Amino acid sequence: MSYLALYRKYRPNKFSEVYGQKCVIDILKNAIKTKNISHAYLFSGPRGTGKTSVAKIFAKTVNCLEPKNGEMCEKCAICSAIKENDIDIIEIDAASNNGVDEIREIRNNVKLLPSVGQYKIYIIDEVHMLSIGAFNALLKTLEEPPKHVIFILATTEIQKIPLTIISRCQKFDFKKITPSEIELKLKEILKKEKKELPEDVIKLISEISDGGLRDAINLLDQIITTSKKEITIDDIYDLNGDISINELEQLFDNIIKKDIPGILNKIEKLYNSGKNIYSIIERLVVLVRNININNNVNNYFSKKQQENLNKYSSISNETANYLASKLIKLLNDIKKSENQKLLLEITLLEILEELDIKNTINSIKNVNQMENKNIEDDKKISNESTEIISREIISIRINNALAGANKQILQENQKKLSKVSEYISNEKYNKVVNLLKNSSLIVCSDSYMMFEYEKEKDASLFNFNIEKIEKFIKFMLNKTYSVIAVTKEEWNKIKKEYIKNIENGIQYKLQREPEIKKKFSKKTDDFAERIFGEESIDIK
Ligand SMILES: [Zn+2]
């Protein structure tokens, strides 16, 4: 028995079997239901989205003697006959028949009545490939089509079709099929074929086929007919001419380690093995985006992906955002470039140089911050102040915490702070400890900590007393941090916006903080005393 390609085997045979294109199908079914049939249809849309399949189904259904709710009955004389061969449906591939003669032949034949059904249907695939002469010949037929003839023209490039043709057709736009719709179809086929594939492999096929179901099914076909026992996503990348995850990570590691010979060798190797430079950059962008999200949001990815991405938890948000914006720009530039490999090499070298400068500046900044902090601390201790923190400072601190957010530091400090209750008997800090006990540390950088509270009351209380909290944290962790608290609700909003910004390549940059105003009014002192007790304000 010869092997039947999966795509042919699982081609839809009726409207209800078509994936996606609900809008198109509804209108076509309704046309059949109300017997309101046009003589010319134009199906346009990306490749593999079902234009030809839907054209064939429509052609069969329109001749069915007893359609049910716009769907063919599959039982009547015509439905049974066309299961064998339908001589009233004529398919023409314009890509191989683009001459005037072929269209003239159609013009002569359209006069002949259909042999069994009510309609004779011409499906002209890739109609944009017709020559001007052929279009003119077709136009004559479309101007006065015999009652028994329906034309269905299909094209991936509507802009190449003359307006005179378009204006005589009922036009349908076929949309790309969503990855989740493709995933569903692939799973259905696998089940029928009694084959299994890992979830991440199915997901990847659905994503890289870019809305084309036919491409997805063909890729699935190739992958399940290989003799390999355990199929991984790298096999898919390989089939698609993309670089493997391993190769991608090697290249990325070289960038992070600033290993220039390593980077150049790797690019040379990938280039010589025929890998697509554009897709290498695209994959780097996605990797950086994933690292950034993984470093700041818990459980966004599958466990397996998280494990893989956790390797990069020491990369700061600032670095990741910088890399993402540079790579996205490169992605745009590379399309126009004559020498893509050279442009990639030069840009990566530029990135390394700028990263070097950035790192030096950051370390100087950190040292300065520390020194300033120490002086401030001394001042505060002698001042017994209560601080009022403005909205402006809150938002700057949120921004700065995100700009330098680092998952590794976060996890280390979460671990340390989980022992905060051990300090409850410390008379000086027991109120602070009580407040911290109910918080969760959610973002942490080298110099910032962001906490989350369920209740707004607790978050305000925290922000009202940040200096005392900072003192306690320094006492507990032996390191100075600027702290801030938000409510759970606020954090959800910040998180959403943050992910959106990362995806759009927007960088978070450190902002200068205005000095916290100190107030000595009776009112605030009273408030602080009420909350923290006299002994906790008086830190000496
Ligand atoms: Zn029928």
Model confidence over 192-208: pLDDT tens digits? Answer: 999 999 998 999 999 88
Q: How far is the CA of 93 from the centre of ligand 1 (A)?
A: 27
Q: How far is the CA of 83 from the centre of ligand 1 (A)?
A: 11
Q: How far is the CA of 82 from the centre of ligand 1 (A)?
A: 9
Q: How far is the CA of 246 from the centre of ligand 1 (A)?
A: 54
Q: How far is the CA of 153 from the centre of ligand 1 (A)?
A: 24
Q: How far is the CA of 187 from the centre of ligand 1 (A)?
A: 30
Q: How far is the CA of 58 from the centre of ligand 1 (A)?
A: 12
Contact between residue 137 and residue 104 where contact means Cβ atoms under 8 Å apart: yes
**pLDDT grade, residue 360 (50/70/90)?**
low
Q: How far is the CA of 78 from the centre of ligand 1 (A)?
A: 6
Q: How far is the CA of 51 from the centre of ligand 1 (A)?
A: 22
Q: How far is the CA of 61 from the centre of ligand 1 (A)?
A: 7
Separation between Cα atoms, residue 110 and residue 103, nearest integer Å: 10
Q: How far is the CA of 35 from the centre of ligand 1 (A)?
A: 15
Res 516: pLDDT: 59
Q: How far is the CA of 60 from the centre of ligand 1 (A)?
A: 8
Contact between residue 506 and residue 520 where contact means Cβ atoms under 8 Å apart: no
Contact between residue 484 and residue 461 where contact means Cβ atoms under 8 Å apart: no
Model confidence over 491-532: pLDDT tens digits? Answer: 988 888 888 888 887 788 888 877 655 443 344 444 444 444
Q: How far is the CA of 62 from the centre of ligand 1 (A)?
A: 9
Q: What is the pTM of this model?
A: 0.57
Q: How far is the CA of 64 from the centre of ligand 1 (A)?
A: 4
Q: How many Cα atoms occupy the beta-carbon half-sphere of 263 within 13 Å?
A: 21
6-173 and 245-356: same fold? no
Q: How far is the CA of 76 from the centre of ligand 1 (A)?
A: 4
Q: How far is the CA of 77 from the centre of ligand 1 (A)?
A: 7
Q: How far is the CA of 175 from the centre of ligand 1 (A)?
A: 28
Measured CA to CA in angstroms, residue 236 lies from 434, 495, 518 at distances of 53, 32, 61
Q: How far is the CA of 176 from the centre of ligand 1 (A)?
A: 30
Contact between residue 144 and residue 33 where contact means Cβ atoms under 8 Å apart: no
**pLDDT grade, residue 357 (50/70/90)?**
low
Q: Where are the beta strands (DSSP E) in 16-157?
A: 40-44, 89-93, 120-125, 149-155
Model confidence over 26-62: pLDDT tens digits? Answer: 999 999 999 999 999 999 999 999 999 999 999 999 9
Domain 384-537 sits in CATH 3.30.300.180: yes
Q: How far is the CA of 81 from the centre of ligand 1 (A)?
A: 9
Q: How far is the CA of 116 from the centre of ligand 1 (A)?
A: 12
- Once rounded to an integer, what is the mean pLDDT over residues 369-378? 47
Q: How far is the CA of 367 from the centre of ligand 1 (A)?
A: 81
Q: How far is the CA of 10 from the centre of ligand 1 (A)?
A: 21
Q: How far is the CA of 145 from the centre of ligand 1 (A)?
A: 25
Q: How far is the CA of 343 from the centre of ligand 1 (A)?
A: 60
- Average pLDDT of the residues of the chain: 84
Q: How far is the CA of 238 from the centre of ligand 1 (A)?
A: 45
Three-class DSSP category at 171 = strand
Q: How far is the CA of 430 from the centre of ligand 1 (A)?
A: 82
Model confidence over 401-440: pLDDT tens digits? Answer: 998 888 899 999 999 999 998 888 888 888 888 889 889 9
Q: How far is the CA of 86 from the centre of ligand 1 (A)?
A: 13
**pLDDT grade, residue 66 (50/70/90)?**
very high
Neighbours of 453 (CB within 10 A): 22
**pLDDT grade, residue 24 (50/70/90)?**
very high
Q: How far is the CA of 173 from the centre of ligand 1 (A)?
A: 27
Model confidence over 157-206: pLDDT tens digits? Answer: 999 999 999 999 999 999 999 999 999 999 999 999 999 999 989 999 99
Q: How far is the CA of 124 from the centre of ligand 1 (A)?
A: 24
Looking at this protein, which amino acid is placed at residue 138?
Answer: L
The CATH fold assigned to 179-239 is Helicase, Ruva Protein; domain 3 (1.10.8)
What architecture is the 6-173 domain classified under in CATH?
3-Layer(aba) Sandwich (3.40)
**The total number of residues written for the chain in this structure:** 540
| CATH for 245-356, options being 1.20.272.10, 1.20.120.450, 3.30.2010.10, 1.10.3720.10 | 1.20.272.10
Separation between Cα atoms, residue 140 and residue 143, nearest integer Å: 5
In sequence order, what are the residues at sequence separation of 6 or more whose Cβ sits closer than 8 angstroms to the Cβ of residue 499?
293, 297
Q: How far is the CA of 17 from the centre of ligand 1 (A)?
A: 16
Q: How far is the CA of 110 from the centre of ligand 1 (A)?
A: 23
Segment holding 443, helix H or strand E:
strand 440-444
Domain ranges of the chain: 6-173, 179-239, 245-356, 384-537
Contact between residue 113 and residue 120 where contact means Cβ atoms under 8 Å apart: yes
